[in-house]
């Protein structure tokens, strides 16, 4: 597995940058950490993982204690926003306790989660009380039969119950994530966008990305944001661009005339937003991944388990973050090979 090699001048860089937080060599400030809490999921979406998926043994994953230490360190280094993801984050044991710990970290301003929603009926309320602020819930289709096809066995009603529970618990505004997959739900994008007429949600259409063993499928079924937008406008009329977009959210917001909610497009493939990237990712097995779509990672868990000191590890994180690559290499045919999406979390 490719790893990030620290160059010899790194200690200087680390010392220089500690005061100013996590910054890469291009001057991008990295203040957003996406944490995959587990690679396990209670669904098997066709674009995300194979049906017969083998999950990592528990001992290879960060324990709660290790995770808490890394979170504390990352917030001290300037992380102000954390998104919990998976696999499916809600299947991680002691999720509520972990959220409570994270929410108490001084300096953390935003704590949110991306989930398939299925376990939210029992978890939304305790998570909100523990300090979770909002959720993004994945809903690719309004058709229960198709939902079962895409997720291999999921029950769409359970997801809608999760959406309702999240709203009732105050985890708002809700964002709905829909990956647009040719032949599965490209005929439904207008119906999904129509949800925003009545609900104050943001429905976000995501371009399909290629990863490892699932790359071929993703490449054959990708629908660009431009095409999705045309499909929506053909049925519902022109989308109006929302004023005041500051470029930090990868989903540029639009509104259908008279709608209460908004529509967004995440165009990682057709319009990469790498120049504004402020993200780092932590995988469930304790690797700091520097770019969603590049294999380079820095192993935090091994040195932690080998007894490296807190301050030394912190310097290593600063140095690794400095090496964040400029952008992904999909236009040049560089597809990430070492992990599939469920092992990173999006
Ligand atoms: N299980 C949770 C869920 O589905 O929301 C969180 C993890 S999932 C990997 C995070 C997001 O990535 C979801 O919105 C999912 O639809 C999206 N996703 C999964 N595989 C993808 C792929 N190959 N390309 C683009 N998005 C993908
Ligand atoms: Fe599970 Fe989310 Fe991947 Fe679907 S997209 S298989 S719900 S991790």
Q: List the 252-255 sheet strands across, edge first.
A: 240-241, 252-255, 262-266, 202-207, 175-180, 134-138, 110-115, 81-85, 32-36, 279-282, 287-289, 297-299
* C-beta of 113 in contact with ligand 2 (< 6 A): no
Is residue 71's pLDDT more than 70?
yes
The pLDDT of residue 33 is above 60: yes
pLDDT of residue 12: 47
Q: Is the CB of 45 under 6 A from ligand 2?
A: yes
Amino acid 248: pLDDT: 77
Predicted confidence at residue 231, as pLDDT, reads: 98
**Residue 318 scores a pLDDT above 80:** yes
pLDDT at residue 213 in the model: 87
Judge if pTM exceeds 0.85: yes
- CA–centroid distance, residue 39 to ligand 2 (Å): 9
Q: Is 214 in the pocket of ligand 2 (CB under 6 A)?
A: no
CA of 37 to the centre of ligand 2 (A): 13
Q: How far is the CA of 94 from the centre of ligand 1 (A)?
A: 22
For residue 63, the model assigns a pLDDT of: 98
Rounded to whole angstroms, how far apart are CA atoms 247 and 276?
Answer: 7
Stretch 195-200: mean pLDDT, rounded? 97
Band of pLDDT at residue 4, cut at 50, 70 and 90: low
Please state, rounded to an integer, the average pLDDT across all residues of the chain.
Answer: 93
Q: Which residues line ligand 1 (CB under 6 A)?
A: 41, 47-48, 85-86, 88, 114-116, 138, 177, 179, 206, 208-209, 211, 218, 341-342, 345-346
Q: To the nearest 5 percent, what fractions of the chain are helix, strand and coil? A: 40, 15, 45
Confidence of residue 3 (pLDDT cuts 50, 70, 90): low
3-class secondary-structure state, position 116? coil
Residues 76 and 183: beta-carbon distance below 8 Å: no
Percent of the chain with pLDDT over 90: 88
228 Ramachandran zone, left/alpha/beta (phi>0; psi -120 to 50): alpha
Mean pLDDT lowest among 4-8, 233-237, 308-312: 4-8
Res. 245: pLDDT tops 90: no
Q: Which helix (H) or strand (E) holds 33?
A: strand 32-36
Q: What pLDDT, on the 0 to 100 scale, is given for residue 332?
A: 85
- CA-to-CA distance for 172 and 308, rounded, in angstroms? 40
Query: Domain spanning 10-340 has what CATH number?
Result: 3.20.20.70
If one counts every other C-beta atom within 10 angstroms of the C-beta of residue 233, the result is 15
pLDDT confidence bin for 8, thresholds 50/70/90: very low
pLDDT per position as a tens digit, 176-196: 999 999 999 999 999 999 999
Q: What confidence score (pLDDT) does residue 41 get? A: 97
- Classify residue 292 by its DSSP letter: T
Average pLDDT of span 54-62: 96
Q: What is the mean pLDDT of residues 111-127?
A: 98
Please tell me the distance between residue 215's alpha carbon and the centre of ligand 2 in angstroms.
15
> Is the minimum distance from the CB of 206 to ligand 2 under 6 angstroms?
no
CA-341 nearest atom, ligand 2: 3
- Measured in Å, residue 148 CA sits from the centre of ligand 1 at 16
Q: What is the pLDDT of residues 247-304, one digit of tens each?
A: 778 998 999 999 999 999 999 999 998 999 999 999 999 999 999 999 999 999 999 9
Domain extent listing, the chain: 10-340
Nearest atom in ligand 1 to the alpha carbon of residue 88 is 1
What are the start-end ranges of the H helices in the chain?
10-18, 64-76, 95-103, 120-130, 144-151, 156-168, 189-198, 215-221, 225-236, 301-305, 310-322
Residues 6 or more apart from 68 whose CB is under 8 A from it?
A: 98, 101
* Residue 98 CA, ligand 2 centroid: distance in Å: 21
Q: How far apart are CA 239 and CA 269, in angstroms?
A: 21
Look-up of token digits 């949110």: 112
């Amino acid at each position: 597995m490719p790893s990030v090699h620290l160059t010899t001048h790194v200690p200087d860089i680390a010392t220089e940058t500690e005061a100013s937080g996590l910054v890469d060599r291009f001057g991008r400030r990295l203040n957003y950490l996406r944490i995959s809490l587990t690679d396990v999921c209670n669904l098997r979406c066709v674009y995300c993982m194979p049906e017969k998926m083998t999950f990592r043994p528990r001992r290879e994953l960060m324990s709660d204690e290790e995770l808490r230490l890394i979170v504390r360190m990352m917030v001290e280094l300037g992380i102000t926003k954390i998104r919990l993801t998976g696999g499916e984050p809600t299947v991680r044991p002691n999720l509520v306790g972990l959220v409570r710990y994270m929410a108490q970290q001084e300096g953390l301003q935003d704590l949110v989660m991306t989930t398939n929603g299925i376990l939210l009926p029992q978890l939304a309320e305790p998570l909100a009380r523990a300090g979770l602020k909002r959720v993004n819930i994945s809903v690719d289709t309004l058709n229960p039969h198709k939902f079962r096809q895409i997720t291999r066995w999921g029950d769409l009603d359970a997801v809608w119950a999760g959406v309702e529970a999240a709203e009732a618990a105050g985890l708002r505004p809700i964002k709905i994530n829909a990956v647009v997959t040719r032949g599965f739900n490209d005929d439904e994008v207008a119906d999904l966008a129509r949800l925003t007429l009545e609900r104050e949600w943001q429905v976000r259409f995501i371009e399909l990305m290629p990863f490892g063993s699932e790359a071929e499928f993703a490449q054959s079924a990708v629908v660009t944001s431009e095409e999705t937008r045309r499909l929506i406008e053909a049925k519902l009329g022109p989308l109006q661009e929302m004023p005041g977009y500051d470029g930090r959210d990868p989903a540029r917001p639009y509104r259908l005339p008279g709608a209460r909610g908004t529509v967004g497009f995440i165009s990682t493939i057709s319009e990469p937003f790498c120049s504004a990237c402020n993200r780092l990712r932590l995988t469930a097995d304790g690797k700091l991944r520097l770019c969603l779509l590049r294999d380079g990672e820095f192993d935090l868990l091994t040195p932690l388990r080998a007894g490296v000191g807190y301050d030394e590890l912190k310097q290593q994180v600063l140095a690794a973050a400095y090496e964040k690559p400029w952008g992904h290499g999909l236009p040049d045919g560089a597809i990430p090979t070492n992990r599939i999406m469920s092992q990173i979390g999006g």
